[in-house]
Structure 1
Amino acid sequence: MIRYFLNNMLLAMKKRYGYDVRYQQDILQTDLAAFLKFSGFQTMASHCGNLPAEPLYAARIRAIIYDDCGPCSQLVVNMALEAGVQPALVRAIIEQDLTTLPTEIALIVEFTELVLAHDPQADVLREKILALWGAKGLITLGFAISAYRVYPTLKYSLGYGKACSRIQLNDLSVVPQRTSGPASGANHV
């Protein structure tokens, strides 16, 4: 009975976002205990803390793009739009266009990239983030960056990972910008 209820929740997500939930359904059908643990993890991933949607989704989008899962990236972009993040801002985040992003969002994009690359320059930006949003904001960003990497990794592990070449942003197809180190054009906001 619980599997039926949980599967209906997955089907509602599939319908709402047009997202393939088969990997979650496979976990649910194979190992209920594992699925319940995964559900607990999703509580961490959904933590918003005291951050506005724009910086929160900047971190989430950049983290998901870093690990290259097209359907996951599309899902997070759709969620950002649903949360009220403006399409032009989402596009600049996807394209890692630091010159057009507001300073605080460029800071988050650059910080996320540096953290993911394990670059010590993130320390300087961390101080700026603490000044803007405090320790709670930093923890929220830490959750967003680390949690949103789990989904692509899990999907690739289970054979459901798909490379991302373009993300649909309303009627526009956007190519995600990836870096292997500090964000291109970075000026350490």
Structure 2
Amino acid sequence: MTPEQHLQEIEAFSRRYRYDMDYLKEFLHASPKGYEKFANFRPLSHHREFLSADIYWVSKLAAMQVADCGACLQLSVRMALEAGLDKSLVQACLQGGSHLPDKLKDIFDFATAVAGHQDIDPQLEERIDTILEKRQRIELGVCVATASVYPTIKRAMGYAQSCCLLDVDFSV
């Protein structure tokens, strides 16, 4: 894609999700070649092949809360709702996962621990083994790992907001 096409894509995404993409515009202008490589990474951050939508989005929301507590989390909420995740599950994730069904609570806790580079409780590890096949665990790992890329780039560029939970907008 040309830089102009990337810019059009960025602006369309920004309008669709009501999300400030100035940091990506700056990235594109400062390093078109670097941005092209980043653009090739982006599909990986949305890859879902083997995970159910609820497990994928609970994992993404858990990881995003570790990586970011501002605009990127709001974006993930909008995307989860747009993908059909039940609003009550989104709300439960934003409340620390305590009101999630047991299986999803385990997923939330596992994703949070993975995102936070924490030791995994052996009992949780055993439960995760009964919930997820190896290929699903790999996909969950990709989901969690890629959640931190966007907020990390924003922070490095000086676009980080002060760390406070937004008044989350549940409109899609």
Instruction: Report the TM-score, using the length of structure 1 for normalisation.
Output: 0.83
* 1:54 equivalenced with 2:50 (yes/no): no
In the TM superposition, what is the alpha-carbon distance from 1:73 to its structure 2 partner?
0.4
- Find the counterpart in structure 2 of residue 40 from structure 1: 40
For structure 2, the residue ranges without an aligned partner over 5 or more in a row are none
Equivalent-residue separation in structure 1 for 2:148 and 2:71 (angstroms): 13
Equivalent residues in 2 for 1:14-163, closer than 5 Å: 14-98=14-98, 100-162=99-161, 163=163
Q: Residue type matched to 1:49 in 2?
A: E
In the TM superposition, what is the alpha-carbon distance from 1:116 to its structure 2 partner?
2.8
CA deviation vs aligned residue, 1:81-127 (integer Å, no higher than 9, x gap): 000011111000011132x2111210111101222333322554344
For structure 1, the residue ranges without an aligned partner over 5 or more in a row are 172-189
Local SS of the residue matching 2:48 = coil
Structure 1 residues 43 and 35: alpha-carbon distance in aligned structure 2, compared to 1, 3 A threshold: same
- Find the counterpart in structure 2 of residue 9 from structure 1: 9
Instruction: Report the TM-score, using the length of structure 2 for normalisation.
Output: 0.90
Indicate if the aligned counterparts of 1:130 and 1:137 stay in contact, CA closer than 8 A.
Answer: no
In the TM superposition, what is the alpha-carbon distance from 1:14 to its structure 2 partner?
0.5
CA deviation vs aligned residue, 1:156-175 (integer Å, no higher than 9, x gap): 1001111332242437xxxx
Indicate if the aligned counterparts of 2:97 and 2:108 stay in contact, CA closer than 8 A.
Answer: no
In the TM superposition, what is the alpha-carbon distance from 1:146 to its structure 2 partner?
0.9
- Find the counterpart in structure 2 of residue 179 from structure 1: none
Indicate if the aligned counterparts of 1:107 and 1:125 stay in contact, CA closer than 8 A.
Answer: yes
Equivalent-residue separation in structure 1 for 2:69 and 2:133 (angstroms): 31
Equivalent-residue separation in structure 2 for 1:131 and 1:40 (angstroms): 34
Indicate if the aligned counterparts of 1:129 and 1:137 stay in contact, CA closer than 8 A.
Answer: no
Local SS of the residue matching 1:43 = helix
Which range moves more in the overlay, 111-120 or 54-63? 111-120
Equivalent-residue separation in structure 2 for 1:159 and 1:119 (angstroms): 27
Equivalent-residue separation in structure 2 for 1:167 and 1:37 (angstroms): 34
Equivalent-residue separation in structure 2 for 1:43 and 1:36 (angstroms): 12
Local SS of the residue matching 1:168 = coil
Give the share of equivalent positions with the same residue, in percent. 30
Local SS of the residue matching 2:148 = helix
Structure 1 residues 62 and 97: alpha-carbon distance in aligned structure 2, compared to 1, 3 A threshold: closer
Alpha-carbon RMSD: 1.8
